[in-house]
A and B are shown apart, each in its own frame.
Chain A
Amino acid sequence: MFMNHHFKQTVLFFNKTLLCFTVAIFLGACTGGKSEKGVLRLPMGVDAKTLDPQLVDDLYSFESTSLIYEGLLEYEYLKRPHELKPLLAAEMPTVSDDGLKYTFKIKKGVMFQDSPHFPGGKGRELKAQDFVYTFHRVADPKLNSGGFWIFDGKIKGLNAWRDANKDKAVVDYSKTSEGFKALDDYTLEINLTTKYPQLLYVLAMSYTQIVPHEIVEKLGQDFANNPVGTGPYVLDSWSREAKITYNKNPNYHGTYFPTEAEIGDDPSLLADKGKKLPFMDRIELHIFIESQPMWLNFMAGNLDRASIPKDNFASVIDPETNKLKKEFVDNGVTLDVSASPDVTYYAFNMVDPFIKKAGPKFRQAISLAIDEEERIKIFSNGRGIPAHTPVPPSIPGYDKDYVNPYQAYDVEKAKKLLAEAGFPGGKGAPRLEYEIGKSTDARQMAEDLKRKLAAIGLDVKINVNQFSELLTKINDRKAMMWGIAWGADYPDAENFLQLLYGPNATPGPNGANFQNAEYDKLFEAMRFTYDSPERRETIRKMKDIFVKEMPWIPGIHRIGFGLSHKWLKNYKPGYMGGNVAKFLRVDEEVRAKGVKK
């Protein structure tokens, strides 16, 4: 009797769950469309790690925080090469004749976003003192911001302030350095120890986006989850690994769409010229771990922009012309192509006993054995150009006519150079240990490298590492050769050439531990100067040393391919700022028709 009853209960339960499931399916079907107006939906490949601007160290966090926070300056949205313009500054700074004092007038009437953590829940006005606080926070020894390098040794008294606070239980912000001074509520003075033209660039980075001190102090470590800035958007919700949503800041001080574009730009880019920003009421950043759902959501019109997944590339881009296929063009999808300010490279550890002994001809031979053009086709779907030097396109100091003779595929010449280096047919050379990260792409590319070097008689052992293992080997100077990339912090060749500056050897960014007195001298001569023919000539000399010594083999400069639906207006690729979303607008009528279609 019991079991019969039990079975009936089971059947009843089963029917109920089936009913619930059917209802859920029905609900699912009913909520498939995305018809809300005023919403911009963009994909992100990785979730933000933090929304605390001084702790931001990656592109995704930078884009996520830059909608909420602002700095003194921002990049001109439509200008290439990049130019800076005031954001929280009322105008560009005045600079003293010796280049050591920058004076900024701060925009009046800028309010922090409303927050329950402010008295009465209302945001207060931004003052020059907030800049002094924020900039010291970058140097706070307890916070450990990854951005301290932007000020390290360059701001009067800042390093001493940092050292003085190192052993204190609580960092004392009441005594500040003479490097950052609020002359009054709307005037900020920055005093430098050395000429530092890159200062203006770093004032457009996330590290220098302004935070309200009272909320930082009140929330402590939870400040990162409760951001309050002066930016165009207020954080609405952050569902980790799913999406970040923002609502328009009703008290935004207002910035305006540019009134000038570049020659050759689509004239429609100026349709909104002079209009107050931002345009959209709400921004949704959707996080996709896998590319298929991102792609399908774009195709269904649920996303306004998308990158092209590797697996879908052939179905979207015509391999002959590298242009969008007709069916996408007919549906109003547009393709944007832009050079990424980055470089991939194969680095040698110049203090490794064998690499040191083998000499430059050995490294040049390896460079000639690698077919970078072929690798771009196979591994990047053609999205890249071979790199001849560390400096990428779109950065002043890049010279498209500069030819690195070893950035070519020439097996015979490679064999000849290898013999001249004392290793004919690879004889006498030990097995090269090539370190890579743990990804399928890295593995495939390493296998290709191994095959290519085998053709000139060199044997390669591929070591697959977790990221921290790879960094540890580089830092401990135990790696022999590895593949890595560098993306621009700001558009200046100095940011790339410092990767080979002797004093930056590990644990600094010169992982190759390259030491060359002449290179260092030239770097010191150019690092704190403005772009000029003399500076470019110095950079050219540094490139010559790079080619002669070849502490790395330059790989490629990547090219970004992006897609937009026809209803998305104002997108211009290659913008270095993180706040691109504030310039974008969705034509709701076109979207409504497009999604239905």
Chain B
Amino acid sequence: MFAYIIRRALYAIPIMLGTTFLLFLLYNFVGGDPALVKAGKHATAETIATIRMEMGLDQPWYWQYWDLLKQVVQFDFGRSWATNLKITDMVAEGAGTSFSLTFPAFVLSTSFSLLLGIFVAVKRGTWIDKGMVTIAVGAQSISVLVYILAGQYFLAYKFGWFPISGYEPGLLERWSYFALPWLIWLFLAVAPEMRFYRTIFLDELYQDYVRTAKSKGLDSKTILFKHVLRNALIPILTNLVISLPFLILGSLLLESFFGIPGLGGLIVKAIGNEDRPVIYALTVVGTIAYVIFNLISDILYAVVDPRVQLK
């Protein structure tokens, strides 16, 4: 397994090279001159030239790319062009905030969806199943924005059950501001996830081994929780682990509407400001997270399914 992990880690190198190079090409050969934005409305040729030098934009493109690669290896992206803050601090702070918003909501929605998924799969074809699936399809067809706007208006403003928006940096203080975004996340996530898990369980419930177990006289609880759930774990794990990088990168809409300073907002702002060092840093973080969680997902396959061997 160790050799497998090393090999997979090495795969990250071409992935990282490819991602950063594409991004670099996009910004260097398609976009405008960011020095003009920084130079302000009274720019002179002299200030623009100095800013270009400071940003390293006066160097040939291959040196600029080399500098970027060095930054990736050292995991130090310098300072933001827009705010002059250390990017590692900005990313660490934003990732922590985003994760503290998204992770509890993710755990909660996953637990709910899994239980509901099993429940409706077992009740397949009954009015419960049909009713739940109908509600889920209906819930899914409503725009995310409607949940947010309506939740904020009714639950926070009209009924006063939650703060309308806001954020406190302290770990304990921030929870009250997260309650409504969590609730909205739950509404958003449960419908599609329940349907996904229902499909997975239904696939398993009609396998030969279930019929065999039934014919051997095993009770349905044992079949469901000892055999079916175990076999369904691989697609479930894939779904869960692949979602994790997105938890770090945050939820743009929830963060924007609830005033939560996570990575979602940081990404959009960096793109808007053409703050290239921040964009590069966030892309690298996203790529690393994707590679790592993919690897974790593969390792977990081997843990939950003895037929899978990592070579």
Contacts and interface: CB of A to CB of B under 8 A. Distances in A.
Interface in A1-47: 1-4, 6-7, 10-11, 13-14, 17-18, 20-21, 24-25, 27-33
Contacts of B260: 242
Contact of A7 (B83, B176, B180, B229): B229
Contacts of A147: 42
Interface in B46-104: 47-48, 50-51, 54, 79, 82-85, 90, 93, 104
B274 A297 contact: no
Nearest to B268: A289
B36 A2 contact: no
Contact of B85 (A20, A144, A225): A225
Contacts of B156: 32, 296
Interface string A284-309: 00111110110011011010000000
A29 B162 contact: yes
A21 B256 CA distance: 22
Contacts of A224: 83-84
A469 interface: yes
Contact of A466 (B31, B164, B167, B261): B31
Interface string A422-447: 00000000000000000000000000
B164 A293 contact: yes
Interface string B157-201: 100111111111100000111111011000000000000000000
A292 B152 contact: yes
A144 B259 contact: no
A371 to B, nearest CB: 29
B39 to A, nearest CB: 7
B218 to A, nearest CB: 12
Given A466-B274, A470-B32, A31 B163 contact: yes
B162 A32 contact: yes
Interface stretch (A101-109, A471-479, A538-546): A471-479
A141 interface: yes
Interface stretch (A71-79, A233-241, A376-384, A406-414): A233-241
A361 B178 CA distance: 60
B33 to A, nearest CB: 5
Q: Which one of B42, B45, B169, B177 has the greatest number of beta carbons of chain A within 10 Å?
A: B42
A433 to B, nearest CB: 16
A18 B114 CA distance: 14
Contacts of B221: 4
Q: Which one of B36, B115, B227, B258 has the greatest number of beta carbons of chain A within 10 Å?
A: B36
Interface string A139-154: 0010010111100100
Interface string B226-269: 11011000000000000000000000000011111100011001
Nearest to A484: B41
Given A32-B163, A466-B274, A468-B32, A242 B261 contact: yes
A33 B164 CA distance: 10
B23 interface: no
A296 B152 contact: yes
A287 B259 contact: yes
A483 to B, nearest CB: 15
A124 interface: no
Contacts of B256: 289-290
B4 interface: no
A292 B154 CA distance: 12
A325 interface: no
Interface residues of B, number: 74
Interface residues of A, number: 70
A296 B157 contact: yes
B161 A25 contact: yes
B40 interface: yes
Contact of B259 (A33, A221, A286): A286
Given A242-B261, A290-B257, A148 B47 contact: yes
Contacts of A299: 157
Contacts of B175: 24, 27-28
Given A17-B111, A239-B169, A28 B33 contact: no
Q: Which one of A33, A152, A289 has the greatest number of beta carbons of chain B within 10 Å?
A: A289
Interface string B21-45: 0000000000111101111111111
Contacts of A2: 226
Contacts of B33: 468, 471-472, 475
A373 interface: no
B40 A241 contact: no
A144 B164 contact: no
A475 B266 CA distance: 28
Nearest to A239: B169
A147 B41 CA distance: 10
Interface string A509-537: 10000000000000000000000000000
Given A14-B112, A242-B166, A468-B33, 11 more contacts: A20-B104, A21-B104, A24-B175, A29-B160, A49-B82, A240-B93, A241-B269, A242-B167, A286-B259, A292-B152, A467-B274
18 contacts: A2-B226, A4-B222, A21-B179, A27-B179, A29-B162, A149-B44, A242-B166, A287-B259, A288-B165, A296-B153, A467-B32, A467-B274, A468-B33, A472-B32, A475-B36, A475-B43, A475-B48, A507-B44
The 7 closest A-B pairs by CB, nearest first: A468-B32, A146-B40, A28-B179, A469-B32, A472-B32, A149-B42, A293-B165
Interface of A: 1-4, 6-7, 10-11, 13-14, 17-18, 20-21, 24-25, 27-33, 49-50, 52, 55, 57, 141, 144, 146-149, 152, 221, 224-225, 237, 239-243, 286-290, 292-293, 296-297, 299-300, 302, 465-473, 475, 486, 507-509
